[in-house]
Amino acid sequence: MKKDNFTKGEIIIYKTSKNEVALDVRLEEETVWLRQNEIASLFSKERSVITKHINKIFTDKEIGKESNVQKMHIADSDKPVEFYSLDVILAVGYRVNSSRAIHFRQWATQTLKRYLTQGYVVNEKRLIEAQNKFHELQEAVLFLQKQSKKELLSGQAGEILNLLASYSKTLSILEQYDKGELKELKGGKTKFVLTYEHCLQIIKELKKELVAKKEAGDLFGSERDGSFEGIIRGLYQTFGGKELYPWVEDKASHLLYFIIKDHPFSDGNKRSGAFLFVYFLDKTGYLFKKSGERKINDNALVALALLVAESEPKEKETMVKIIKNLLVD
């Protein structure tokens, strides 16, 4: 029998080379477990014979009973059933059917080796991811605390706290790790492509609306150099045939950050960046939560734009991670 991935408490099918016996073998506590009737089937003996040998093994203290017998609940029984470890199975097997015992030992050893190796790799990966997320959260907390003290952001303290509360949901990843339920978070894909020409038209329409309200002047949305085109096209740049920003969250967070931080316009960078950010999320279907509410409301977006504007260049990665995490539903 061959199986590549194992989980705690998983049932693995064992078959002899000639398919004389087929058993459901339980993987648990880094060993394999069988019931008495299954051990009897494995070695082609009556259950009474198996019972006698098991009792003798424990009486002679050849194997300790406490760590090699486990009571488990199963579907076809209304009370716990005793399961016996690999050590007990083999001790019985060598007494009643040595060739079958050798074959089962070889199968069990190979199976457990794959199980333990994969288990170590998976758990190590979970631990590293959990630690990285925790450090990321710590960085975000320190960053937001520091930014909230700046004079320009003094009126945004409430929204910054709300951002922090939303961001802190990443702490749940530690609980997921403890329960062995940690999953790798992946972003979303989209066929929608935000083009430079389209963005210019959007900024033009935004400017017209704001000028009519006397909320913007002639310099609003006027390009200072060619950096705006570079920002938009950069969202889709590739390296080695792979996109540098493959997910919607990647593109959206970098779009907002670069427009605000790189100042491609003579005026209106924060408003233009925020407007294009919302437009992009809307077009890709990532503007709203499953509940129907905005992932980032207007007040939070204002605070976020100010945070980006006031952040240091060395804080870019932290700022981008904050934006991305706020977009995860």
Task: Give residue-wise pLDDT tens across range 140-171.
Answer: 555 655 555 555 444 444 444 444 444 444 44
What average pLDDT does this structure show over 24-40? 77
Domain boundaries along the sequence of the chain: 11-122, 185-326
| Helix, strand, coil abundance in the chain, percent, nearest 5 | 60, 10, 30
pTM over 0.75: no
Judge contact between 107 and 14, C-beta under 8 A: yes
Greatest Cα pair distance, the chain, in angstroms, is 96
CATH (residue range 185-326): 1.20.120.1870
Contact 290, 329 (CB under 8 A): yes
pLDDT digits (tens, 9 = 90+) for 259-318: 999 999 999 999 999 999 999 999 999 999 888 888 887 767 877 787 788 788 888 887
Tell me the average pLDDT of the chain.
Answer: 75
pLDDT at 122 over 50: no
Q: DSSP H helical segments within the chain, as ranges? A: 36-42, 47-59, 86-96, 98-148, 157-167, 172-178, 196-212, 227-234, 248-262, 269-284, 298-310, 316-326
Q: Using a pLDDT cut of 70, give the percent of the chain over it.
A: 65
The more confidently predicted of residues 313 and 201 is 201
